[in-house]
């Protein structure tokens, strides 16, 4: 008579599983250790980058806060060229150079800003500044093209409405009233609540327009 088979004890199952793990570890330990080392390296590198970036930004902000002239602002840009304080410094440089009548230097600062920070929220404003410099220098045709670029490239930015208005002003100076009217109408349709909308309405009233897409123009 055959002896009944006794089910394996719980300890035996554990022991067998332990043997399987030992075998798995023996076969794959090198890969596991390499993966762990890589994961630790990535985490450590991210932490180092974060700390370094934070410290750099803080240092740049401190330096910007005490920058009271062009040379100090330029030093911020030179030392921390990709930081947000450098972006602020470049816009301040452009404004100071324009106020000093140095339009080429102002435009150069705006262009550098756009090169270093093409996705910055104020990129449209920088391009608008270039157009205003061109117009102030007597290059109306170039300025008009730049204002059109602002409206096309940054249609949702505050700068787009101002660019359309500046373009309309150029057209009015050149007695191109119908073209100016169309630009002003476009401005009011696209940006009815913008700060420059009142100026657009006033210009339309001056040239005799009555209404724009439901927007009543005062007579």
Instruction: Place 73 in a pLDDT band, splitting at 50, 70 and 90.
Output: confident
pLDDT at 56: 63
pLDDT at 81: 84
Residue 141 domain-assigned (yes or no): no
Indicate whether 219 pLDDT > 50: no
pLDDT in tens, 117-157: 999 999 999 999 999 999 999 999 999 999 999 999 999 88
Higher pLDDT: 70 or 54? It is 70
CA distances from 54 to 45, 60, 136, 168, 209 (A): 14, 10, 40, 44, 54
Indicate whether 209 pLDDT > 70: no
CA distances from 145 to 14, 56, 123, 141, 191 (A): 78, 38, 17, 6, 20
pLDDT at 47: 41
The secondary structure of residue 194, as a DSSP letter, is: S
Helix, strand, coil % in the chain, rounded to nearest 5: 75, 0, 25
By the 10 Å C-beta count (0-12 exposed, 13-18 middle, 19+ buried), 60 is classed as: buried
Residue 202 domain-assigned (yes or no): yes
Residue 4 domain-assigned (yes or no): no
Across residues 176-204, what is the average pLDDT?
A: 92
Same domain flag for 116 and 191:
no
Across residues 89-116, what is the average pLDDT?
A: 94
**Where a domain ends, among 120, 140, 161?**
120
Higher pLDDT: 6 or 104? It is 104
Same domain flag for 40 and 116:
yes
pLDDT at 218: 42
Across residues 185-210, what is the average pLDDT?
A: 88
pLDDT in tens, 151-186: 999 998 889 999 999 999 999 999 999 999 999 999
Percent of all residues in the chain with a pLDDT value above 70, rounded to a whole number: 69
Residue 82 domain-assigned (yes or no): yes
**What is the domain count for the chain?**
2
* Domain span including residue 206: 150-219
Residue 15 domain-assigned (yes or no): no
Angle at 158 between CA 156 and CA 162, to 5 degrees: 115
Residue 95 domain-assigned (yes or no): yes
Which range among 25-29, 31-35, 51-55 shows the weakest confidence by mean pLDDT? 51-55
Instruction: Place 193 in a pLDDT band, splitting at 50, 70 and 90.
Output: confident
pLDDT at 119: 92
pLDDT at 44: 56
């Amino acid at each position: 008579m055959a002896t009944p088979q006794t089910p394996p004890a719980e300890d035996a199952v554990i022991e067998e599983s332990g043997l399987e793990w030992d075998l798995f570890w023996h076969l794959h330990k090198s890969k596991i250790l390499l993966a762990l080392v890589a994961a630790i390296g990535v985490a450590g590198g991210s932490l180092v980058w974060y700390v370094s970036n934070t410290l750099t930004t803080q240092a740049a902000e401190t330096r910007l806060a005490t920058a009271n002239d062009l040379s100090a602002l330029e030093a911020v840009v030179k030392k921390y060229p990709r930081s947000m304080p450098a972006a602020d410094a470049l816009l301040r440089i452009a404004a100071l150079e324009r106020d000093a009548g140095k339009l080429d230097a102002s435009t150069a600062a705006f262009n550098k800003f756009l090169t270093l920070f093409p996705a910055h929220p104020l990129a449209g404003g920088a391009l608008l500044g270039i157009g205003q410099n061109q117009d102030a220098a007597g290059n109306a045709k170039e300025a008009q093209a730049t204002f059109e670029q602002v409206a096309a490239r940054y249609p949702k930015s505050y700068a787009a409405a101002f660019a359309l208005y500046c373009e309309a002003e150029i057209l009015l100076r050149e007695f191109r009233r119908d073209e100016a009217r169309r630009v002003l109408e476009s401005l009011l349709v696209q940006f009815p609540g913008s700060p420059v909308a009142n100026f657009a309405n006033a210009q339309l009233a001056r040239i005799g327009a009555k209404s724009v897409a439901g927007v009543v123009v005062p007579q």
